[in-house]
Chain A
Amino acid sequence: MSEITRTVRIGSSHGLHARPAKLFAQAAKDAGIPITIAKDAGAPVNAASILGVISLGVEHGDYVTLTADGEGAEAALDTLSELLTTDHDAA
């Protein structure tokens, strides 16, 4: 099993703060494997850390890179990508 990486564009109209950040960090934690998130070419942070995720200051339309390593990495990144590209604040 090797490390896999995916770059996605943020769909949430308010970026990745507050509620979307919480949903994302919760999902990353539930995945049970190490996952990181980085904004553009910045340093990756633990995706399960809500504080790390919030402090990236990710806005709507920004690109982020997810990296996962371990059992079920592919499925975990599918779930997280889906979360990031959805507009949670639209509802």
Chain B
Amino acid sequence: MKICITNGRIINPCTKYDKVSDVWIDGKKIISVGKKPTGFIAKKVIDATNQIVCPGFVDLGSYLQEPGYEHKATIASEAKAAAAGGFTSICCMPKTNPVIDTPAVVELIKERARGIATPKIYCIGALTEGLKGQVLAEMSALREIGCVGVSNAREAIQDTVVLKNSLEYAASIDLTVFMSCEDPWLAKGGSMHDGLVSTKKGLIGIPSSAELIALSKVLILVEQTGAKVHFHALSAGRSVKYISDARQKGLPVTCDVSISHLNLCDQDIKDYDSNYHVRPPLRSRRDKSTLINGLKKRQIDAISPHHEPQDADSKATTFSSSEPGISSYDTFLSLLWALVRSGQLTESRAIESVSCAPGRALGKGDNGIIVGDVADICVFDPNLVWTTHSDNIVSRGKNTPFLNREMTGKVTHTIADGQIIYSRS
């Protein structure tokens, strides 16, 4: 479709382009920026006055809950929520039922997304069969069918031999491994960060050392195996130093932090509200500011939603008995822009860390607003004020600590592969 986005402020972090101008799209691609192509008649004109036009957001790993947990959410429901949140590419985590450890499950997910206007959906396959940490998954077959990487989700591989071998095997077929780091013994029974707040609430704490120990173990094995590893959702401030030291040694590692951990800390947990129950847990205020600082200095590459929709019953219980997870597609842009408005991130760095940087971690290169590029674009109004309600949250999961809050900033249009997949009207 021929689309023209007019009068928007185009921010393209990778080329440092920042200018009020127009973008022309034909078919899947951007055919011009700034200068109208001769004879172009747009079928759809998007007036982006006072809005920002930027590369579409890339999600590095969310729990879409299908197949297996359709009572929580479905691929269709969450793809729609992702589109409304400005995402043009999303990755689904293998923790489904059945687990994404065979090409058949990947086919099923592709099938479920067929025929609906959605972001591009990529699968992250299982690192071990059934995520059980015992037998390696058929990674080569998973790569063939299109998996962008492999992961054991949040299931720890306790046997270090299996961990080493899985990294080694992934390295030999050049597949990125997405790692969540949490020592299962130190985290056992825990539901929040180990600190003054957990002591006051009488909840079992998960110390930062649970993340640091698991992270260092993987980093040592990365050095040994040469595996390309992306670390998901770092939560402890000290992890940033571990990662940057590894990079200085030249290890092929990247990392992200979740939007929730940049906006919340353990002190924000209201009473025992289970909507704040998330893994890794929300850590201290100090951890939060170290993570933001790490993003600024590019020691952390990307910000990801780590969207995890839950059904009401999974949260309608006590904090420790509730299922972890925050539904974050709907509030993602508002929370990202809150970091910009408070001066913690520049506009350019904020956009880069949710678009080009995660795109690079996925091996998809920089997606940008550049002539000749695939048109994956997000248009948002940074000043639009709205209030979150369970009925205007697109995701089926209403499990967000930001429910019934006034938010600033909202996505108005999302374009993926040159198709308008979301339009706020």
Chains A and B are bound partners? no
